[in-house]
Amino acid sequence: MPNEPGLETALPPRDPKSAIVDALLELAGERHWEDITLSDVAARANVSLATFREFFPSKGAVLAAFLRRIDKIVLEDSKGAADDLAPKERLINVLQRRLEALAPYKVGLEGISEWASRDPFAAASLNREMINSMRFMLEAAGIDSEGPVGALKLQGLVLVWGRAMRAWFSDDDPDLAATLAVLDRELTRGGRFVARAEDLNRLTSPLFSIARAFFERRNASRGEGPQPDA
């Protein structure tokens, strides 16, 4: 039986999870993050709160899913690191693809950035998510991200990315000249710092190996001989 006029019901989205992510980014461009409720997001996505809860426990989890979506777009678009380019140039190419993927969500992302600047706990949570994303951006550029120096690269790249994003929010040039200039400058500066850290790591690694071997031998010698009865 057809619906009576005025009683049509909206069909649920074919992909509720994606609809929720899109809804949150839209709302983030319209109002302060703190003013967006779960019900607001569900209504904009045309899903029930029950459906929202099925996929996400919080707005932060939705934002993390958005970042994974962007990671996937960039990684699928990556044709592999070009061996004839310097590591910094390979990384800029990867990050430029990331900016292209983020372009449809620019207004919402600016709102989220403003929220993080007001809330240190939000900034710390967002930093953790960005470290995960930047790990894959480094790998896509053929840059090692393992070990103590790798951890330094990751945190440094998150800071560089944050500065580039601030430039991007006010960069209306289709070529993103100002944003890419910030990326180039900050990556050059960070590269010098990482190079010094790598030199220090090479110098200290043998010392740590010697110290570890010494303590292992000492602990082994203490464990020799019969053990006293309990």
pLDDT for residue 85: 86
92 and 158 together in one domain: yes
44 and 96 together in one domain: no
Is the predicted pLDDT of residue 191 greater than 60, yes or no? yes
88 and 20 together in one domain: no
In a domain, 222, yes or no: no
Least confident of 3-12, 65-74, 120-129: 3-12
In a domain, 103, yes or no: yes
Confidence of residue 10 (pLDDT cuts 50, 70, 90): very low
* pTM, two decimal places: 0.78
78 and 30 together in one domain: no
Contact 108, 28 (CB under 8 A): yes
Least confident of 17-21, 76-80, 220-224: 220-224
Contact 92, 187 (CB under 8 A): yes
Structure tokens at 5: 């006029």
In a domain, 40, yes or no: yes
130 and 51 together in one domain: no
The CATH number assigned to the domain holding 46 equals 1.10.10
31 and 100 together in one domain: no
In a domain, 7, yes or no: no
76 and 146 together in one domain: yes
195 and 109 together in one domain: yes
Is the predicted pLDDT of residue 206 greater than 90, yes or no? no
d(C-alpha 74, C-alpha 136), whole Å: 9
Is the predicted pLDDT of residue 203 greater than 70, yes or no? no
Residue 11 CB coordination number (10 Å)? 7
Burial 43-72 (b: 16+ CB within 10 A, else e): ebbebeeebbeebbeebeebbbbbbebbbe
For 77-99, the pLDDT digits (tens) are 876 555 678 888 999 999 999 99
In a domain, 152, yes or no: yes
45 and 148 together in one domain: no
In a domain, 72, yes or no: yes
Please state, rounded to an integer, the average pLDDT across all residues of the chain: 83
126 and 24 together in one domain: no
The mean per-residue pLDDT over the stretch 54-77 comes to 96
Query: How many domains does one find in the chain?
Result: 2
127 and 147 together in one domain: yes
Concatenate the DSSP letters of all residues of the chain into one string.
Answer: -PPPTT---PPPPS-HHHHHHHHHHHHHTTS-GGG--HHHHHHHHT--HHHHHHH-SSHHHHHHHHHHHHHHHHHHH-----TTS-HHHHHHHHHHHHHHHHGGGHHHHHHHHHHHHH-HHHHHHHHHHHHHHHHHHHHHTT----HHHHHHHHHHHHHHHHHHHHHHHT---TT-HHHHHHHHHHHHHHHHHHHHHHHHHHHHHHHHHHHHHHHHHHHHHHT-SPPPP-
| Segment of 113-127, 182-196, 204-218 carrying the highest mean pLDDT | 113-127
In a domain, 229, yes or no: no
110 and 203 together in one domain: yes
pLDDT for residue 28: 97
pLDDT for residue 75: 96
pLDDT for residue 6: 44
Concatenate the DSSP letters of all residues of 83-139 into one string.
Answer: TTS-HHHHHHHHHHHHHHHHGGGHHHHHHHHHHHHH-HHHHHHHHHHHHHHHHHHHH
In a domain, 5, yes or no: no
Region for 36 from its dihedrals, namely left if φ exceeds 0, alpha if ψ lies in -120 to 50, beta otherwise: beta
Domain range for 81: 66-215
